[in-house]
Amino acid sequence: MAQGTNQCPRQCRLAGAEVSFEKNHRSRLQAGGQRRASSLGRRFVGQFENGGNIRGMHDQDSSVDYVALKAAIRDTGQRLGFSAIGVARADPGPAVGYLRAWLAEGMHGTMDYMARHAELRAHPTELQPGTLTVISAALDYLPHTATVDDPARAAVSRYAQGRDYHKVIRSRLQKLADAIAALIGPFGYRVFSDSAPVMEVEFARQAGLGWRGKHTLLLSQQGSWRFLGEIYTDLLLPPDTPVAEHCGTCTACIDACPTGAIVAPYRVDARRCVSYLTIELDGAIPEAFRPLLGNRIYGCDDCQLCCPWNRFARLGDPEFTPRQGLDSATLIELFAWTETQFNDRLAGNPIRRIGHERWLRNIAVAIGNGPATVDAKKALKSQADHPSPVVREHVAWAQARLAQA
């Protein structure tokens, strides 16, 4: 779960934050901050052994100019590399009802944590006491515009080809929080980056960063190749206005889904989704879906590749530049990685968390969906006696499939 690291007292200013507010923002805020400096000790509530996060409660009766502070937060966020910053009230509203209905239909599959933590999603104050506001941030990640059309090459979702986004976003949000504390003193907050029960798309929508596409991802006029992160805070910042939706009658994402996982506009059955099948699902992939995976070994980008709005997407942050040839490697090359090589080469990459067994499972299916070459058959044979029964079963399936080709 993403946590804020130790907060910096007001006296240390921006040490370690690596960013600064412009002087005009500081001048509008500093008067109230100077008056509060003497009361810093009284407002510093305590320390919590939760990821090392030290939280201070912010005095809502202070003379902070929240309009100016919000502008400063947005400017600083942009200097940190975020594509957009917005503010929403910490109330997910009707989206909670849709989440509960989705869970009741079992569309979350084996992701039990979705149901187990549903109320934490519904009530932000249960996750971070005192939360009034959500600062939502977006970060572009599109590493390139190439597609993998060769069935002998591995198709890895673009978001996972470079550095682990959890760490990148969490680090930058922490720097943003440090910069805020340097101006106004300690305040209650917690940072998140897709690793806690947060309704991030809904809050981003409310914060004006985009609208929810029919594939359920956040979509904007700059496309959907964006990561999201949040700061839950007790600062009463003025909320932004949501933007209008611009999907119209388009059904490109629904039509493009290789497994029919987008069962209706704004409804995804995770049990059918390639990302779920290759990442979240433990054990065997249902045989009915295996041929539909093609050469996709980790995630799927099809519903984004076809979206008309992504014609306007720009290349993302350099942190997400492909590593270890994940944008160009062949299936056979990746299938040959030992467990040690898998762990070493994917250190700092989100793929590492699925483990070597699922990695081999997924690639075995992809090889079985590819050309029946001598090298492909040889690669499968090399793992036919793997210690994992899951790997062995998927290898056997792939061998039988190539034998019929």
What is the 3-class SS of 245-306, one letter each residue?
Answer: CCCCCCCHHHHHCCCCCEEECCEECHHHCHHHHHHHCCCCCCHHHHHHHCCEEECCCHHHHC
For residue 368, which of 160, 151, 207 has the smallest C-alpha distance? 151
Inside any domain, residue 341: yes
For residue 70, which of 289, 231, 272, 279 has the smallest C-alpha distance? 231
Q: List all residues 6 or more positions away from 123 whose beta carbon is below 8 Å from its beta carbon.
A: none
Q: Quick one: 15 exposed, middle or buried, by C-beta within 10 A (0-12, 13-18, 19+)? A: exposed
For residue 359, which of 336, 376, 379 has the smallest C-alpha distance? 336
Inside any domain, residue 278: yes
Q: Can you give the residue range of the structural domain that contains 113?
A: 10-233
Residues 360 and 342 sit within 8 Å (Cβ to Cβ): no
For residue 99, which of 198, 190, 166 has the smallest C-alpha distance? 198
Inside any domain, residue 210: yes
**Distance, CA of 71 to chain centre:** 25
Count of helix runs (H) and strand runs (E) in the chain: 18, 12
Inside any domain, residue 240: no
Residues 386 and 395 sit within 8 Å (Cβ to Cβ): yes
Beta bridge partners of 268: 262
How many CB atoms neighbour CB 362 within 10 A?
Answer: 27
Q: Return the pLDDT at 273.
A: 98
Q: Return the pLDDT at 58.
A: 62
Inside any domain, residue 78: yes
Give the ranges where 148-211 is alpha helix by DSSP (H): 165-184, 200-206
CA dist 119 and 126 (Å) reads: 8
Let me know whether 98 and 222 are in one domain: yes
Alpha-carbon torsion angle 114, 218, 91, 99, nearest 10? -30
Inside any domain, residue 34: yes
Q: Return the pLDDT at 63.
A: 81
Tokens of 253: 């994402």
Let me know whether 393 and 281 are in one domain: yes
Let me know whether 34 and 158 are in one domain: yes
Final residue of a domain: which of 210, 233, 256? 233
Q: Return the pLDDT at 61.
A: 53
Cα angle 173, 177, 181 (rounded to 5 degrees) comes to 170
Element (H, E) at 344: helix 339-345
> Buried b vs exposed e over 100-130: b needs ≥16 C-beta within 10 Å?
eebeeeebbbeeeebeebbebbbebeebbeb
CA dist 404 and 402 (Å) reads: 5
Instruction: Please identify which of the residues 65, 75, 150, 194 carries the catalytic annotation.
Output: 194
DSSP label of 325: T
> Buried b vs exposed e over 238-271: b needs ≥16 C-beta within 10 Å?
ebbebeeeebeebebbbebbbbebbeeeebbbbb
Residues 224 and 218 sit within 8 Å (Cβ to Cβ): yes
Let me know whether 219 and 290 are in one domain: no
Let me know whether 226 and 284 are in one domain: no
Final residue of a domain: which of 176, 210, 233? 233
Q: Strand, coil or helix: what is 336?
A: coil
Q: Return the pLDDT at 28.
A: 42
| AA letter at 200 | E
Let me know whether 228 and 285 are in one domain: no
375 is catalytic: no
Let me know whether 179 and 85 are in one domain: yes
Phi-psi category of residue 314: left, alpha or beta, with phi > 0 → left and psi -120 to 50 → alpha:
beta
Q: Return the pLDDT at 57.
A: 58
Inside any domain, residue 261: no
Let me know whether 291 and 388 are in one domain: yes
Positions in the chain short of pLDDT 70: 1-62
Let me know whether 214 and 299 are in one domain: no
Q: For 373-394, how does the pLDDT look when each residue is reduced to its tens digit (9 = 90+)? A: 999 999 999 999 999 999 999 9
Q: Return the pLDDT at 62.
A: 64
Inside any domain, residue 33: yes
CA dist 167 and 176 (Å) reads: 14
Q: How many domains would you assign to the chain?
A: 2
Let me know whether 193 and 342 are in one domain: no
Let me know whether 208 and 330 are in one domain: no
Q: Strand, coil or helix: what is 130?
A: coil
Q: Return the pLDDT at 405.
A: 83
Let me know whether 182 and 329 are in one domain: no
DSSP label of 242: P
DSSP label of 77: H
Beta bridge partners of 88: 134
Final residue of a domain: which of 177, 207, 233? 233
